[in-house]
Chains A and B, each alone.
Chain A
Amino acid sequence: MLTAPELLEFLPQTDCGQCGMTCADFAGLLLARDLSPADCPVLHEPEYAGFIEALEELLATAPAAGRGMAIDPARCIGCGICVAMCEHHLAQVPEARAGRGPGLGDRVIFRVVNGQVVVVNQELCVRLLQAAEKCSKCAEHCPTEAITLR
C-alpha cells in the first residue's frame, strides 16, 4: 500500500510553504487525491524535472485511498491509547478522558471491540472536519504503529 512517506521522497522536502503547507502535509493530501503533483510550485523548476511524472506514476499504480485512518488488525493489541488520546474524545467523551472505555451510547470516532480498535464514526475526526487542524495523536501514540492516517 502506498504511503505518504513514500510520496514525500519525491517532494522537495524543504517545507518552503509556497503551496501553503509543509511537504509532509502535501504528501498526505496527494495520497488522499485532494491535490495533484502539479500543485507543488517547486516541482516545476528544472532542478526537479521528472518528479511530477514519477509522482503521477506512483499514484496511478496505487488505488485511491479514502481520507481518515486505517487500522491494521494484525498489529492492534486493543490497548485503547488512541481512544484516550483522540482530540474529539477529549472534548466530548469524559469517560475516555479518564482512561476508561466509552459507553455503548457515546458518539465516538473509534472504540475497542473484541480486542481490536474499530472506526465507527470517522466523520467526527478533527482531521477531516477542519483542514487546518492536523491532529494525528492516535497514530503518533499507537505503540504498535497499527494506525495509518491517509
Chain B
Amino acid sequence: MPGPWESHICPGCACLCDDLDLVEADGGLQAHNVCAWGSAKFLGSKKFHPGQPRRRLTAPFVRRRGRREEVSPEAALAQAAELLARARRPVVFGLTACGSRAQEAALAVARHLRARLEPADLNLMAPYYQALLTAEIHHASLEVLRDEADTVLYWGANPLHSCPRHLTRYTVFARGRFTERGVEDRRLAAVDLHRTELARFCQVFVRVAPGADLELIRAVQGVLSGASRATVTGAVRLAEFLRHGEVGVIFAGRGLAVGAEALARFAALGDLIRVLRPARRFFLLPLASDFNSAGLYHLLLTRLGSPWAPDFGEGDPPVFRSQPVRWEEVDALLVTGADLFWLLPEETRRDLTRRQVPVVAVGPWEDRTVARAAVALPAALEGIEVEEVAYRQDGIPVCLRPVLPPPAPAAHQVLTQLLEISS
C-alpha cells in the first residue's frame, strides 16, 4: 500500500472534506482529520458504533427458496435482469450515496426498464431545487459562506449528526476572510423538534412542534415584512435574529422534508429569503448528508430538466412525480447508493416482504436491503477503492481518488453490465 496521501477527499458525507491525510499504520489505514462518519467508511465500521466492524458484501448471490447461493457475477446479473424485466412497475431507488458515474448508469437502466427513479432524499432536495428555480434564490459556495456569513440558521437540521465537520469547516468555527474571529464573528440559530447539541452554540434556539414549521416560517416572514404580528412562539426572536445579519445562510435539513408540506415549506423559505434580500445577502442551502446527493439532482436537472422523480413507465420523456412512490404498487426494486430497508417504515417493509417483491441490491455493504435481496452484487467503495465523481452539498464537483485496491467492480460498471444484459 503506497502512501501517505495528503489532502485526500473524504466520501463520508456531503461535506466532501478535502483535508484528509492517510497513512499506513499497523498494516491498515490511518485517517487523519476525518470525523466519525468518514472514519466508518475508511475503517469499515458502523456509523453510529465506531468499535463495531461493518460487514462487506464479498460475493454475488441469488436467493433460492429463501437461501443465499453464491454465484458468478454473470449468473447474478442474468438473474437480476430477468427479475427486473418481468416487473410492470419497477423502481430504481437510492443513488444519493454513490458516485455520479453510477447515477448516470442507473438513469440509463431506469430508462431501459421503463422504471421510476426514486432518489432516497426526494422530499428534501427536490423541493429545494424547485424553490431555487422558482424563487430566484441566490447561490453561494461553502467557502463564500465561511468567508462572509455572519448569520447562520439551521432549520430542521443537526449538522453534528449529518455532517459532523460542517460547523468546524464552513459555518461557525472556521475563520474566513471577513470572519476572522470565527465563532465570535458569527451568530447561530437553530429550529428543531428537540433541544440538540447545537443549542449550546446558539444565540436563538426555537423548539417547534411537529408539523408547525410552515406556520413558523410564514410568521417570521410576516414579522420581517411588517405584514402581521407574530402569533407563533419564536417567530419574533427568529425575525430579529435574521434582521440583524448582513450576510446569512439558512440550512434546511430533513426536518423540513417530513410529510406532504415539504414543497410548501421550501417555497415559504424562498419567500422569506426574498423578504430579507433587498438589504442583506441571504442564501438557502439544503443540508444533505449522503455524499453525492447534489450530484444526482445535477444529473436530473441537466439531463431531464426537473428535480422531481422521473417515471419512465409511460415512455420517454418521463413523467415527473413530486409525491413519494406508493410502495404498494411497486413489483420490483433495484437499490443502489442507499439502504432502502433501513429507511422504510416497518409496515412497508413487511408489505414488500409479504408480496415477495424481488429486490436487486448493488453496493459494498451487507446492509438491511442486502439481507432481503433476491440478487445482490458487490461494488467497490467509491473514493476509497475506485475513482468516482461527486458533487459537494453546494454543487461543487470533485474527483474522488482511490487509495486501496478494489475487491469488487465499481457500481457504475455493475450497472452498465446489467444494462447490457437487459438490452
B residues near A85, Cβ cutoff 8 Å: 173, 182-183
Q: Which of B23, B43, B198, B200 contacts A104 (CB 8 A)?
A: B23
Indicate if the CB atoms of A97 and B33 lie closer than 8 Å. no
Separation in Å of the A135 CB from the closest CB of chain B?
A: 15
* Residue of A whose beta carbon sits closest to that of B158: A143
**B48-72 Cβ-contact flags toward A at 8 Å (1 or 0):** 0010000000000000000000000
The stretch from A13-21, A51-59, A111-119 touching chain B is: A111-119
A94: nearest chain-B partner, CB-CB? B175
Assess the B176–A98 pair: CB atoms within 8 A: yes
**Cα-based distance from A129 to B138 in the complex (angstroms):** 48
Does B86 make an interface contact (CB < 8 A)? no
Among B7-31, those with CB < 8 Å from A are 17, 19-21, 23, 30-31
- Complex contact A79–B21 (CB within 8 A): no
**A113 lies within 8 A of B32 (CB):** yes
CB-based contact A77/B36 at 8 Å: yes
Say how far A101's CB is from chain B's closest CB, in angstroms.
3
**Nearest CB on A from B276, distance (A):** 25
- Complex partner residue of B20 from A81, A95, A99, A101, CB under 8 angstroms: A101
Q: Which A residues touch B197, using CB under 8 A?
A: 143-144
Cβ-defined contact, A78 with B34, below 8 A: yes
Residue in contact with A78 in the complex, picked from B6, B164, B198, CB distance below 8 Å:
B164
Q: Is A76 an interface residue (CB 8 A)?
A: yes
**B50 touches which of A112, A115, A143 (Cβ 8 Å):** A115
Point out the residue from A79, A97, A103, A111 that lies within 8 Å of B35, measured CB to CB.
A79
Complex CA distance for A98 and B197, rounded to whole angstroms: 22
A143 CA / B197 CA spacing, docked (Å) = 6
Bound: A111/B168 CA distance, A:
13
| 82-123 of chain B: CB within 8 A of chain A | none
Contact A143-B198, Cβ < 8 Å, known A79-B168, A81-B168, A84-B173? yes
- Verify if A44 is at the interface (C-beta below 8 Å from B): no
How many pairs of A and B residues are in contact by the CB < 8 Å rule?
106
Q: Which residues of B contact A143 (CB under 8 A)?
A: 160, 197-198, 200-201
* Bound CA–CA A139/B146 (angstroms): 23
Say how far A129's CB is from chain B's closest CB, in angstroms. Answer: 22
What is the bound-complex CA distance between A102 and B38, given in angstroms? 17
Q: Would A111 and B175 be within 8 Å (CB), given that A99-B170, A104-B23, A143-B198 are in contact?
A: no
What's the Cα separation between A141 and B36 when bound, in Å?
18
The reply to whether B33 and A102 form a contact with Cβ atoms under 8 Å apart is yes
Question: In the complex, are the beta carbons of B32 and A104 less than 8 A apart?
Answer: yes
Give bound CA distance, A116 to B164, whole Å.
Answer: 12
Give Cα A85 to B31, complex, Å.
21
Q: How far is the CB of B182 from chain A (nearest CB, A)?
A: 7
The answer for the CA separation of A44 and B216 in the assembled complex, in Å, is: 57
Please measure, in the bound complex, the distance between the C-alpha atom of A112 and the C-alpha atom of B173, giving whole angstroms. 16
Contacts of A101 in B (CB 8 A): 17, 19-21, 32-33
A95 to B7, CA, bound (A): 12
Contacting residues, chain B, for A73 (C-beta < 8 A): 50
- A112 to B198: give the CA distance in the assembly, Å: 20
Check: A28 CB closer than 8 A to any chain B CB.
no
* Given A84-B182, A99-B169, A76 contacting B174 (CB threshold 8 A): no
Instruction: Give the CA-CA distance A100 to B197 in the complex, in Å.
Output: 22
Answer yes or no: B306 CB below 8 A from chain A CBs: no
| B374 contacts chain A at the CB level, 8 A cutoff | no
Task: State whether A99 touches B33 (Cβ < 8 A).
Answer: no
Does residue A37 face the partner (Cβ distance < 8 Å to B)? Answer: no
Q: Is the CB of B35 within 8 A of A77?
A: yes
Residues of A within 8 A of B36 (CB): 76-78, 115-116
Q: Is the CB of B165 within 8 A of A80?
A: yes
Q: Which residue of A is nearest B160, CB measured?
A: A143
What string of 1s and 0s marks CB contacts (under 8 Å) between B173-206 and chain A? Answer: 1111000001100000000000001101100000
Is B79 at the interface (CB under 8 A from chain A)?
no
Min CB–CB distance B82 → chain A (angstroms):
42
Residues of A contacting B393 with CB < 8 Å? none
B4 CB within 8 Å of chain A: yes
CB distance from A106 to the nearest CB of B (A): 10
Q: How many angstroms from the CA of A104 to the CA of B39 in the assembled complex?
A: 17
Partner of B175, one of A78, A99, A114, A141: A99
A-B contact pairs, 7 of them (CB 8 A): A81-B168, A84-B173, A100-B169, A103-B21, A112-B35, A115-B36, A143-B201
A residues near B (Cβ < 8 Å) are: 73, 76-81, 83-85, 95, 97-104, 111-116, 141, 143-144
Kindly list 14 other residue pairs between chains A and B, CB separation below 8 angstroms, not including A101-B19, A115-B36. A77-B35, A77-B164, A79-B160, A80-B169, A81-B167, A84-B174, A84-B182, A85-B173, A99-B170, A100-B169, A104-B32, A114-B42, A115-B31, A115-B37
Which 7 A-B residue pairings sit nearest by Cβ, starting from the closest? Answer: A101-B33, A99-B174, A115-B39, A115-B36, A78-B35, A143-B197, A99-B169
Query: Residues on B close to A: CB < 8 A?
Result: 4, 6, 17, 19-21, 23, 30-40, 42-43, 50, 146, 160, 164-165, 167-170, 173-176, 182-183, 197-198, 200-201
